[in-house]
Amino acid sequence: MNIAQQAASQAASAFETWQDSSGAQRAMLLRALAAALEAQRETLVPLADDETHLGPARLNGELDRTAFQLRRFADIAERGIPFQAVDDPAVAGPPPTGHPALRRVRVPLGPVAMFSASNFPFAFSVLGGDTASALAAGCSVVVKGHPGHPQLTLRTFELIQQVLAQQGLPAGLIGLVQGGVDEGLALIREPAIAACAFTGSTRGGAALQAEARARPRPIPFYGELGSINPIVALPPALNDTLAQTLAGSITMGCGQFCTSPGVLVLLDGGDGTAINDGFIATLTTALRAAQPHAMLTAGMRSAFDAGTAAWHAAGAQALLHEPGVGLAPRPVLTQVTVAQFVADEALRHEVFGPAALVLRCASLEEVEQVLAAIAGSLTVTLWGAGDDTPANRRLLRAARAIAGRVLFGGVPTGVAVSAGQQHGGPWPSSTEPFSTSVGDAALDRFLRPVALQDAPAWA
């Protein structure tokens, strides 16, 4: 029996009892995991920094977010959200008016394969939001550790096993599979696995989704994938402060955020050309002054260079493109025409790292063409669309058609864990645009509705 088979088997055994656990029991586990994570901060953060180069400040903040997520889903479970039902009492008489008594409940799917992300070693990893929401839903979890931070993954897993033992819970409730592509494929093929949650590249997610669908019994695959997160900027909104803010968003975490802004769409129509010229100049200066840290892996650094080179090979004009040193790239800002962007799919691929494309549109129609060509994005940001005008309504319709989250201010980096959050959009930003991987509704991915008809009270 290989490691994937063993972990899946143990998760299936643990699921038999965990699916019937109370909200209070689920909450107790999630809160204990949050407390254990915080108690090991002085060990875990330096370990994470050694493996990811993300810096203590960022990693401490991410650990805090991870503990917050665990406690938030503990509260959700304790309030009974996973157990909410719809009672539809019997109505006497023949159909269609009459019907039997029905109670629509939700049941946990089963063991969930959770693929850790490279760029969030805490919040989207072993004890991240996918694990927290699956446990709150009553599912067991098998974590596929990311090879970019194996030691942190192992130490976090050891912490988990200690908590499970202290609470008398089976070790298989949260399992771990380490390794590369082969181990990941083996895990998703395991018959006991009932669903998969993934955060990563579009290419990797598409391959795993194909495996999930090709199984004799296909399973749901919830993938949060690549996204270029366009910002549409109307001239009156632009100023130097906003240019500095945008530069900070593009370079935040060395551009290794799923919501990093990758496209800036400027409307040159009317008297906006001069304003846009000044904004681009300020943005370029701010990016040149930025000092991004090392990327997560040598492979990602190589992919960043290949992605920006592909832009230039497609005829894009480099506004800022300086050589980096080692794993640390320099920010890249490139300009491309609307016609080029719409015609060349290579210009619409996510470049993971501190890089962005600039498009200058002569009309609202061209802005709409750009958004339509993108097809799917986690976010679209609209700057300067605060007034209720026909043009702004058109922009909102175009943005809403392709995005899971539409912002009317600020920058897309930073995804709040809250009741109203939607982190997922049309392909290629995610595989299931009706679901979210962040926020309270993430729980819904791991619950399946069942109608109980004329059920006895015990059921």
Q: Examine the residue annotation and report whether 322 is marked as an active-site residue of this protein.
A: no
* Amino acid identity for residue 283 in this structure: L
- CA pair distance 135, 132, nearest whole angstrom: 5
Place of tokens 């619950």: 447
Contact (CB, 8 A) for 296 and 416? no
* Amino acid identity for residue 441 in this structure: A
- CA pair distance 347, 357, nearest whole angstrom: 9
Distances (CA, A) of 458 to 90, 321, 447, 454, 455: 18, 68, 21, 12, 8
**Which runs of consecutive H residues, i.e. helices, occur in 381-446?**
390-400
Neighbour count for residue 366 (Cβ, 10 Å): 21
- CA pair distance 422, 417, nearest whole angstrom: 9
DSSP label of 445: G
Catalytic residue, from 139, 196, 254, 258: name it: 258
Contact (CB, 8 A) for 411 and 243? no
- CA pair distance 64, 61, nearest whole angstrom: 5
Catalytic residue, from 78, 190, 224, 368: name it: 224
C-alpha atoms less than 13 angstroms from C-alpha of 240 in its C-beta half-sphere:
3
Q: Examine the residue annotation and report whether 224 is marked as an active-site residue of this protein.
A: yes
- CA pair distance 24, 183, nearest whole angstrom: 34
C-alpha atoms less than 13 angstroms from C-alpha of 27 in its C-beta half-sphere:
13
Three-state secondary structure along 260-286?
CCCEEEEECCCCHHHHHHHHHHHHHHH
112-115 vs 141-144, strand pairing mode: parallel
Q: Which residues are catalytic?
A: 224, 258
